[in-house]
Amino acid sequence: SRFEDTRGVSCFKAPGRVNLIGEHTDYNDGLVLPFAINRHIYFIIRKRKDKTVLLHSLNFNEVREFKINKLLGRENKWSDYIQGILWEFKKRKLSISGFEAIIYGDIPIGAGLSSSAALEIVTCYGLSAVFNLHIPELELVKLCQQAENEFVGSKCGIMDQYVSFFAKKDKALFLDTRLLKHRFVDIALREVGMLVIDTGVKRSLASSEYNKRRRECEETVKLLRNYIDNLSSLRDLTPELLEKYRSKLTQLQRKRVKHVVEENIRVENMVAALEKQDMKMAGRLLFASHFSLKNLYEVSSPELDFLVELAQKEGILGARMTGAGFGGATIHLLFKRDIPEYCKVVKKEFFNRFARNPNIFKVRTSQGVCQII
Ligand code: GLA
State if residue 297 touches ligand 1 by the CB under 6 angstroms criterion. no
CA-nearest residue for atom 9, ligand 1, is 157
Classify residue 236 as exposed, middle or buried by CB count within 10 Å of its CB (0-12, 13-18, 19+): middle
Mean pLDDT of the chain: 96
* 280-317 exposure pattern, b = at least 16 Cβ within 10 A, e = fewer: ebbbbbbbbbbebbbebbebbbebbbbbbebbeebebb
Answer yes or no: pTM beyond 0.85.
yes
- Residue 216's pLDDT is 97
Under 8 Å between Cβ of 55 and 65:
yes
Pairs from 181-185 (Cβ < 8 Å, separation ≥ 24): 185/33, 185/271, 185/274, 185/275
Cβ neighbours of 39 (radius 10 Å): 24
Q: Which atom of ligand 1 lies closest to the CA of 23?
A: 12
Q: What angle do CA 47, 142, 262 make, to 5 degrees?
A: 145
- Centre of ligand 1 to C-alpha 41, Å, is 18
State if residue 267 touches ligand 1 by the CB under 6 angstroms criterion. no
**Is 160 annotated in the active site?**
yes
Q: Give, for ligand 1, the residue of 18, 25, 27 to mutate: max count of ligand atoms closer than 8 Å to Cβ.
A: 27
- Centre of ligand 1 to C-alpha 359, Å, is 21
In the structure, how many helices (H) and strands (E) does the chain have? 10, 12
Q: Choose the catalytic residue: 26, 29, 80, 160.
A: 160
pLDDT under 70: residue ranges of the chain: 1-4, 203-206
CA-nearest residue for atom 5, ligand 1, is 324
Under 8 Å between Cβ of 216 and 208:
no
Q: Give, for ligand 1, the residue of 18, 20, 26 to mutate: max count of ligand atoms closer than 8 Å to Cβ.
A: 26
- Centre of ligand 1 to C-alpha 27, Å, is 8
State if residue 120 touches ligand 1 by the CB under 6 angstroms criterion. no
Q: Which amino acid is at 308?
A: V
- Centre of ligand 1 to C-alpha 25, Å, is 8
What percent of the chain stands above pLDDT 70?
98
- Residue 244's pLDDT is 97
- Residue 5's pLDDT is 74
HSE value, Cβ hemisphere, 13 Å, CA-based, for 214: 15
- Residue 110's pLDDT is 86
